[in-house]
Amino acid sequence: MRMFFRLLFRNRLATLGGAVLAVILLLALITPLLPLQNPDVTDTAHRFLFPFSDGHLLGTDQLGRDLLARLLWGTRLSLAVGIAAALAAGVAGSAVGIVAGYFGGRIDNVIMRGVDMLMAFPYILLALAIVAALGPGLLNALIAVAAVNVPFFARNIRGITVGLAGREFIDAARLSGKGHLSILLTELLPNVLPVIVIAMSTTVGWMILETAGLSFLGLGAQPPQADLGGMLGEARSAMITSPHTSVVPGLMIFLIVMSINLLGDGVRDALDPRLRSGALSRPRAATEVARQGPVPAQTDALLAVQELETQFHVGPRIYRAVNKVDLAVKPGECLGVIGESGSGKSVTALSVMGLVASPPGVITGGAVRYRGEDLIGAPYETLRSLRGDRVAYIFQDPLSTLHPLYRIGDQLAEAIRAHHPVSKAEARERALQLLRDVRIPNPESRIGNFPHEMSGGMRQRVGIAMALANDPDVIIADEPTTALDVTVQAQILSLLDDLRRARGLAIVFITHDFGVVAQLCDRVAVMYAGQIVEEGPTAAVLAAPAHPYTRRLIACVPELGGGRRELAAIPGLPPSVDALPVGCAFAARCDKAREACRAAAIEMTRAGGRAVRCRFPEVAVEEMTA
Ligand code: ADP
Ligand code: MG
């Protein structure tokens, strides 16, 4: 809640709107207590007095009534009617929408076609018709405005409910034996409530306008009762001779509607969790770069990540997700990157092609070189031409990366045509070949499948096919087998291995499983709290891990046929990357940690193709060379 108000008040326009609205609401609330004249007493001897006349601060109207008193009472009435109409429309429309969306099928059809019929009438005509049927009067105007707005809420809320109704937590509630009413009230309502509140806060303004419009036409408030629209209507005939009589209520309507809309927009932005983590702006096409310090020198690796620093700047906090990471791959080489969840593996991978969302992500140092060319801060066009063409990604969950509404063949063809201007038929031919390459049986019939018609393993093969679509030089695979069962995982791994050998692909394989690394990777880099803590040839690291963290990670892997052995979990949790310790980040969980480990940052020690970031490594540096 504090966070919400902080964000809201950071938005200056919303703050201004809130302040103006607060003053108006306060005035409306205390109107009966103020020493005002009676708003309905006429005094024809003093008609059309200008503002600042004796006894009439804002002047008088065509019947000599005090404008200030009428303005305040009128504001009170207009606000009350507008807010009541918004509440009524919100409650009724949301109820209709939730019920239609939850039950679906015929109920949905009947309800929504009814709503469509309401929507088919021109808006203001419908309101006029309702008032004409019920007779003029403020209450009937309220009913008309509320009724006209019900479809807006019903449509909005139904759309969201349909999306929620198929989700697992609703199924779980059903399985636990909950009835429809209880599911509607305890599972669905809390999830759509924020949307209802936002929709209401953005529509109150326009309901006040509509009520004013009806009153202006003489169908709302009846004389002598004052509301803002009615005052405008009465002032119409004297618009030229005594403009103040229209300006006063007109200005008030403007202030109310503007302030409500500004505040409503601010509320919407502050409630949206995606906007909460950053400034109120869209993510950019490439990660923001604010590089300080020197750019590391060129190397001859195919892809080299050099002293890369990627941070998340969230309010006053700085999350050092990637902290001077060095990685490199040669053609045909497979590099494993391993570490616990949250150690910065994905952020490292995404930083390579500038795919970290900004805000809040910022690359603050280092370089990423593809064939020697530095990509950090490179023009967007350069990045775009490399993404998916020379450097491709495979992600963990293919269901969320494949477009649910397109056939996989079309998606593969699109990936090809994004970089190569080939004909549709040729793209399809290539897509078929790709499906064959990743050993999908029956590619001719599979090419027309939607992602949801395939199993997890098949989908991941499609993900790999898509990564291979443009014959890239480097594939960055971010936990591609984590969501799959072990037999499918083994197939996918051997597939990747074959492809690497056949095409000379360089693979950066991110995982948290040493078993996978042992099977696939030539070299392995161990990440902890945003840093590489050990690197070396897989066999050497597995045989004699140098960093205590690596040793304990390896001890967590069960071995088939390895006999009974205790699988030691590593106690404790990695440190949060917004409050890293001065010294070794692993010290708090390390049984060998000493004072020196905590005192200062630990440098990498390199020897014979291996590297370790530890003061007291498990194997001596001299032995690592051997
Ligand atoms: P993993 O190694 O599991 O792939 P990630 O690279 O996804 O870990 O995350 C690394 C760190 O970056 C984590 O500590 C995470 O909390 C932090 N992080 C990721 N995204 C954001 C974000 N948008 N805002 C703040 N911190 C983030
Ligand atoms: Mg990850």
> In 402-485, which ranges are continuous DSSP H helix?
408-417, 424-437, 443-446, 456-468
Query: What's the 344 CA to ligand 2 centre distance in angstroms?
Result: 7
Q: Domains of the chain: which residue ranges?
A: 67-256, 282-521, 534-626
How far, in Å, CA of 148 to CA of 493, rounded? 59
pTM, rounded to two decimals: 0.69
Report whether 191 contacts 152 (CB < 8 A): no
Q: Where are the alpha helices (DSSP H) in 167-283?
A: 168-175, 180-183, 189-216, 228-235, 244-271, 273-276
C-alpha separations of 509 from 377, 520, 572 in Å: 25, 9, 26
> What is the number of the ligand closest to the CA of 340?
1
In residues, how long is the chain?
A: 626
The burial class, CB within 10 Å (0-12 / 13-18 / 19+), for 456 is middle
Which ligand 1 atom is at minimum distance from the Cα of 350?
6
| Ligand 1: nearest atom to the Cα of 527 | 2
* pLDDT in the model for residue 426: 93
pLDDT for 474-508, tens place per residue? 999 999 888 777 887 888 888 889 888 888 899 99
| Nearest ligand by distance to the CA of 396 | 2
DSSP readout, 404-424?
TTS-HHHHHHHHHHTTS---H
The ligand 1 atom nearest the CA atom of 319: 26
Ligand nearest to the CA of 342: 1
pLDDT value for 530: 92
**Distance from C-alpha of 188 to C-alpha of 186, rounded to nearest angstrom:** 6
Evaluate: CB of 345 within 6 angstroms of ligand 1: yes
Cα–Cα distances in angstroms (integers) from residue 464 to residues 66, 411, 456, 477, 575, in the given order: 77, 13, 12, 9, 34
Own/partner pairs, 230-237, CB within 8 angstroms, 24+ separation = 230/74, 231/61, 231/70, 231/71, 231/74, 234/61, 234/62, 235/61, 235/62, 237/62
Q: Which residue is it, tokens 């490399």? A: 386
CATH superfamily for domain 67-256 = MetI-like (1.10.3720.10)
Q: What is the pLDDT of residue 565?
A: 63
d(CA 444, CA 116): 42
Measure 342 CA to ligand 1 centroid, in angstroms: 6
Question: Residue 438 has what pLDDT?
Answer: 85
Contact between 71 and 252 under an 8 Å Cβ cutoff? The reply is yes
Token pair, residue 379, equals 């023009």
126-129 contact pairs (CB < 8 A, 24+): 127/210, 127/214, 128/214, 128/217, 128/219
Beta-bridged to residue 524, according to DSSP, are: 336, 536
Q: Is any atom of ligand 1 closer than 6 Å to the C-beta of 359?
A: no
Cβ of 321 below 6 Å from ligand 1: yes
First to last CA, the chain: 59
* pLDDT computed for residue 184 by the predictor: 92
Question: Which residue's C-alpha comes closest to atom 27 of ligand 1?
Answer: 312
Residue numbers in the chain where pLDDT is lower than 50: 278-280
Phi, psi of 305 (to 5 degrees): -100, 125
Query: Is the beta carbon of 347 within 6 A of some atom in ligand 1?
Result: yes
Alpha-carbon span 539 to 14, nearest angstrom = 60
Beta strand 506-511 with 523-528: parallel, antiparallel or unpaired? unpaired
Whether residue 318 has its Cβ less than 6 Å from ligand 1: no
pLDDT for 567 equals 65
Taking the centre of ligand 2 as the mean of its atom positions, its distance from the CA of residue 512, in whole angstroms, is 9
Residue 20 DSSP SS3: helix
d(CA 414, CA 407): 11
Q: How far is the CA of 618 from the centre of ligand 2 (A)?
A: 28
Ligand lying nearest the CA atom of residue 362: 1
**How far apart (Å, rounded) are the C-alpha atoms in residues 575 and 184?**
41
What's the CA gap between 121 and 132, in Å, rounded? 15
Q: Which CATH superfamily does the domain covering 282-521 fall into?
A: P-loop containing nucleotide triphosphate hydrolases (3.40.50.300)
Among protein residues, the one with the nearest Cα to ligand 1's atom 23 is: 360
Cβ(201)–Cβ(263) under 8 Å? yes
Residue 333 is predicted with a pLDDT of 93
Cβ-proximal residues to 379 (8 Å cutoff; 6+ apart), any chain: none
Model pLDDT, residue 283: 63
Query: Beta strand 474-478 with 506-511: parallel, antiparallel or unpaired?
Result: parallel
Rounded to the nearest 5 percent, the helix, strand and coil shares of the chain are 55, 15, 35
Residue 256: closest CA among 221, 197, 212, 214: 212
Cα–ligand 2 centroid distance for 505 (angstroms): 22
